[in-house]
Structure 1
């Protein structure tokens, strides 16, 4: 378990208010839904009271509630779940969880990925006519990625902000300071050696950071950002909006925050 009673409430509030969600919840709630369900998809897998089969099926049954409006958002939010399964201690339970969970998720989400494949075969490919990889990565500086504010749409301002909540996330000094402090405290919690599930959480942070920052070409940007942007405009174009991978980072940070706060705030459980 991570943290205590009070620190878990603080972490839950921080997660619900994390900029990656607040920037879009008032305009495109479908973009926030996968991340909102992410903790619930993980919970059955972490419950040792269930057999591997029951845990995997309970988790998979929650995945459809992430929605099918945006497949990339759902897949991006499932990355931490996949890393959780892969980081389990070696043994029969680990492989049983994976063997049950992967096909169960495929079946549970067939209602949207089968039509999506048919659309890809018979429909018009609109991806070359929308935002480019340079647009989606230009706002993903390390500071913005870590505090959950890398969504490029939040920075659009045409006399008035395109997303009012997103513009507040991008420009409000109070929001910037608070979100940066939350991210810093989360990192401090993850850095503690007594952090539960530290290997999985660090792996999640590293994977998310690599995805988020690889295409950034600004100051101190990735050395191969040009190549990455070409990939995002080519074979990886469905994942061009890389801000969708910030949900795993948010979860890892709030768990680190809960642990750090729990060291100083006594609580039950």
Structure 2
């Protein structure tokens, strides 16, 4: 059974790679911070400081520190490659990690037969939320793809300190571009510990999460202390939740930008095309 499971991942990864690299060859997308792709070393060196004078008349940097790891490190290591290739590789890893993690969770829980697990894992990796955000703000897609890996060790029949440590390893890889997305990726694992009533393990896990994420919590507090409330001007809670309703949440079309802009083509079709709306409702 283990050999069969291992054999599932490679062909699906190849399929996902083909899908990713068949996107417009030679072109790059403005995925979150374009300068991270074009000049990763310059961007990351600037991210070490709260203040930058490279834009407007100077400003406190928003979220720059969150790219240091893992996304920033990845683009730094792939800087020698053509920009579009490095970007496609990143998207490929994001999708592959999401598929494999979700498939392993289903296998661990003995849910469904292998073909159904593959379909379910593909639907997870290629969910409407992923299709909407992957090519424009993949930093928000990544935490959701890592979330199954955080849960996987906690599904063992017996939880020990080893399982807690194994769960914390992917926590370190969540990144911190969007603190809300990072925290949301921790919720399933926390619910598992609560459901299994592993209170002492839950405390140890929570302390580990705080320690691991301390590298970005500090800069976030600095930003919150000295920066103006800019989110109220560009994406307040009232704006971002205006289109949310039970159907949209069920479909996974919770990203607000496709409702007001056509830039994210896949996301725009998912919320405006009757065909895609009906299909996603049926799948959900």
TM-score, with structure 2 as normaliser: 0.58
Runs of 4+ in 1 over 4 A off after TM superposition: none
TM norm structure 1: 0.61
Structure 1's unaligned 5+ residue stretches are 184-269
Pairwise CA distance, 1:124: 3.4
Which residue, out of 116, 134, 141, partners 1:32? 141
Q: Which runs of 5+ in 2 are unaligned?
A: 1-108
Using the alignment, how far apart are the partners of 2:257 and 2:268 within structure 1? 9
- 8 Å Cα contact 1:18/1:179 also seen in 2: no
Structure 1 residues 136-185: Cα deviation after superposition (integer angstroms, max 9, x where no partner): 1221121111110122111123xxx12112102112233222211121xx
Aligned to 1:178: 279
Aligned to 1:116: 220
Tell me what 1:45 maps to: 154
Q: Secondary structure at the match of 1:68?
A: coil
Alignment of 1:1-269 (within 5 A): 1=109, 2-48=111-157, 51-88=159-196, 90=197, 94-157=198-261, 161-183=262-284
- Measure, in 2, the Cα distance between the counterparts of 1:64 and 1:125: 28
Q: Does structure 2 retain, via aligned residues, the 8 Å contact 1:139–1:152?
A: yes
2-structure distance, mates of 1:142, 1:99: 33
Q: Deviations over 1:111-157 (max 9, x none)?
A: 11121112222333323322232221221121111110122111123
Rounded to whole Å, the distance in 2 between the matches of 1:174 and 1:32 is 24
Q: Which has the higher contact order (CA 8 A, sep 6+)?
A: 1
Give the RMSD, CA atoms, in angstroms.
Answer: 1.6
Q: Counterparts of 1:172 and 1:84 in 2: how far apart (Å)?
A: 37
